[in-house]
Every structure is written in structure tokens, then in C-alpha cells.
């Protein structure tokens, strides 16, 4: 993740603010063109603003401004100055982007009745498609919020409510965020009486969360393995000479039988793991292999360790 304390006008500084600006404006596109036209509310103050906008026509940005700014002020008073300059900049960039789009584009959806409706003389016309729109909206939201997080900005909006409740209750922050966002998502059911709306909103959140992880952590290309095998020496030879990777040997005791076990700890790429798994099956089909994804693998043979 980008260093949050970049030197002013350094390369890292410009990269961080490029992420911040692009992510904030992309969020505005996703909200106005894909989320609002389909009456979705995937949590957050903008989810609630979309519901209000559909029920009582007033600009989304106006509703969001009336919620975000007071929340930032109350959050700062209650929680202290944890909301940095980037979070404030992102808040106003999104507000500005949403205001410009809804003032110029309006609230017409892109999936149908929009840009794609008359492409190639109607050959690419779209009908209302909640699933397609939800997939695209989740992708856009995930990319946008992932870039905002990668820039070093923190999440504001309705998350501040969760942070304040967390301070005065014993409920975990993750649980409170889920409760607050789920409540906002369910407002679509009560406001519009359609069961599909909260379902699509929740699906959007799930897609968004996966994309955020991908943007921040990158694709999890490496696998970390813990291998226990009676054919320890043969597995060792496979790793060293066929896969050409190193590893660490541990001596342990099995809980059930109390027998001594030899365990190998090693990390390799996904393709190398597939090759090793097939090779281990040939020499010891009864081997135990615990596999974990590794988002960061630093050191010799992998990504060099860099101090930011």
C-alpha cells in the first residue's frame, strides 16, 4: 500500500494523489450512472443519498453534503483528528464529481437508455439488466474505493458512525460497519417495496470488496505450503531440484497419535504449486498439504524488500 507520509512533490506524492483523484472521480461515475438509476443503495452515505434522491428529488450531492460534512466534524470532535487531509480532499472531490455529473448527465442509466443504447444504429441496444449493471457497478466501486484506500485516504461517511459506536460499545468495528451498511441497504426494500433491490445491493458490496482487495494487495500469485509426508526426503528432493525452491524444515509431534512428524514450510508461485502437488501425489498420495494465499512475499527469489 502507498506510504501515507510521502515527501511533498516526490514521485510517491504524485502517485498517491493520482490514485486519490482518479478513485474519487470514478466513484462519482459509478454512483450517478450505475447505482442511482437502478435504485441501489450499497451502504454508505451515498447509498442513503440515492434513496432520498429517488423519493424526494434533490441532488445526490446535496444529500451527501448534508451527511458527510457533519459526520466529519462530529467524528473529529469525538474520535480526534484521525481524518487526514486526503480524506477531506476525497470527500469534496466525490461531492464535486457527483454534482457535475448529475447536473450534466442527469440520472439516466448507461446500461440502457444511455450511451450504449444507440451504438451501431441500435445493434448494441441494451434492455434493463440488473445483474449486468450490478456487476459493472461493483467493479467501478471496487476500483474507485481501492484507489482511494491505496492513496492513503481513510473511509469517512457512514463509517464514522461505526467508529463512534465502537468507541462506546464492545461491538467490533467490522460488525458495526456491517450493521450500518446493511441497514442502509435495507432502506431500498422499505422505500420501493422491491425485494430484489437489497439483494442486488448486497451483491454489489460483495463484488466491490473483492475488487478493493485486488487493487490494494494485487493478485495473490504465491502459495505458502505446510507439507507433512512420510516420504519427507522425496518431497524435499522435489522442492529443491524439480521446483527449484527452498524451504524450512520443522520437527513436530502429531496431536492424535503423539508421533514425531517432519513438516516442510515453503513458498512458491501458483504454477509451481500445481506442478509440486502432482509430483507429491505420485510419491505420497497420503501427504498432508496446507495451502495459504500470500499477498506479499518478500526476499530472495521473490519481491525485493524495500523500505518506504
Please indicate, yes or no, if residue 4 is contained in any of the structural domains.
Answer: no
Domain boundary among the residues 187, 217, 247 is at 217
Same domain? For 159 and 256 the reply is no
Tell me the HSE value of 3 on the side-chain side, using a 13 A CA sphere. 12
Residue 127 makes CB contacts below 8 A (sequence gap 6+) with: 112
CA dihedral 18, 21, 25, 30 (to 10 degrees): 60
Same domain? For 279 and 212 the reply is no
Please indicate, yes or no, if residue 43 is contained in any of the structural domains.
Answer: yes
Same domain? For 133 and 272 the reply is no
Same domain? For 88 and 164 the reply is yes
**pLDDT for the residue 32:** 95
Q: What is the pLDDT of residues 155-173, one digit of tens each?
A: 678 878 888 888 888 787 6
**pLDDT for the residue 35:** 93
**pLDDT for the residue 102:** 95
**pLDDT for the residue 121:** 47
Q: Strand, helix or coil at 92?
A: helix
Low-confidence ranges of the chain (pLDDT < 50): 1-4, 114, 117, 120-121, 123-125, 307-308
**pLDDT for the residue 308:** 45
Residue 307 makes CB contacts below 8 A (sequence gap 6+) with: none
Which structural domain range is residue 128 located in?
11-217
Total domains in the chain come to 2
Same domain? For 151 and 235 the reply is no
pTM: 0.74
**pLDDT for the residue 2:** 42
Please indicate, yes or no, if residue 64 is contained in any of the structural domains.
Answer: yes
**pLDDT for the residue 112:** 66
Amino acid at each position: 500500500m502507498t506510504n501515507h507520509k510521502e515527501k511533498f512533490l516526490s514521485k510517491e506524492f504524485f502517485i498517491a494523489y493520482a490514485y486519490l483523484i482518479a478513485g474519487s472521480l470514478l466513484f462519482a461515475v459509478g454512483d450517478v450512472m450505475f447505482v442511482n438509476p437502478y435504485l441501489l443503495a450499497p451502504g454508505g452515505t451515498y447509498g442513503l443519498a440515492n434513496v432520498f434522491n429517488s423519493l424526494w428529488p434533490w441532488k445526490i450531492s446535496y444529500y451527501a453534503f448534508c451527511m458527510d460534512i457533519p459526520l466529519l466534524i462530529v467524528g473529529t470532535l469525538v474520535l480526534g483528528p484521525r481524518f487526514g487531509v486526503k480524506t477531506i480532499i476525497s470527500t469534496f472531490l466525490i461531492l464535486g464529481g457527483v454534482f457535475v455529473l448529475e447536473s450534466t448527465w442527469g440520472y439516466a442509466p448507461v446500461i440502457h437508455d444511455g450511451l450504449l443504447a444507440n451504438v451501431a444504429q441500435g445493434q448494441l441496444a441494451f434492455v434493463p439488466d440488473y445483474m449486468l449493471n450490478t456487476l459493472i457497478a461493483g467493479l467501478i466501486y471496487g476500483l474507485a474505493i481501492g484507489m482511494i484506500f491505496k492513496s492513503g485516504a481513510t473511509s469517512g461517511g457512514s463509517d464514522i458512525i461505526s467508529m463512534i459506536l465502537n468507541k462506546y460499545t464492545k461491538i467490533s468495528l467490522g460488525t458495526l460497519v456491517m450493521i450500518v451498511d446493511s441497514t442502509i441497504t435495507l432502506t431500498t426494500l422499505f422505500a420501493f417495496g422491491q425485494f430484489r433491490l437489497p439483494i442486488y445491493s448486497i451483491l454489489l458490496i460483495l463484488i466491490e470488496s473483492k475488487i478493493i482487495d485486488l487493487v490494494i494487495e494485487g493478485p495473490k500469485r504465491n502459495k505458502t505450503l505446510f507439507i507433512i509426508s512420510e516420504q519427507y526426503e522425496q518431497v524435499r528432493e522435489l522442492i529443491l531440484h524439480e521446483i527449484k525452491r527452498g524451504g524450512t524444515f520443522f520437527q513436530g509431534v502429531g496431536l492424535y497419535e503423539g508421533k514425531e512428524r517432519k513438516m516442510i514450510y515453503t513458498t512458491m508461485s501458483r504454477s509451481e504449486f500445481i506442478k509440486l502437488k502432482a509430483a507429491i501425489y505420485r510419491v505420497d498420495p497420503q501427504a498432508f498439504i496446507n495451502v495459504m494465499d500470500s499477498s506479499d512475499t518478500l526476499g530472495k527469489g521473490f519481491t525485493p524488500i524495500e523500505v518506504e
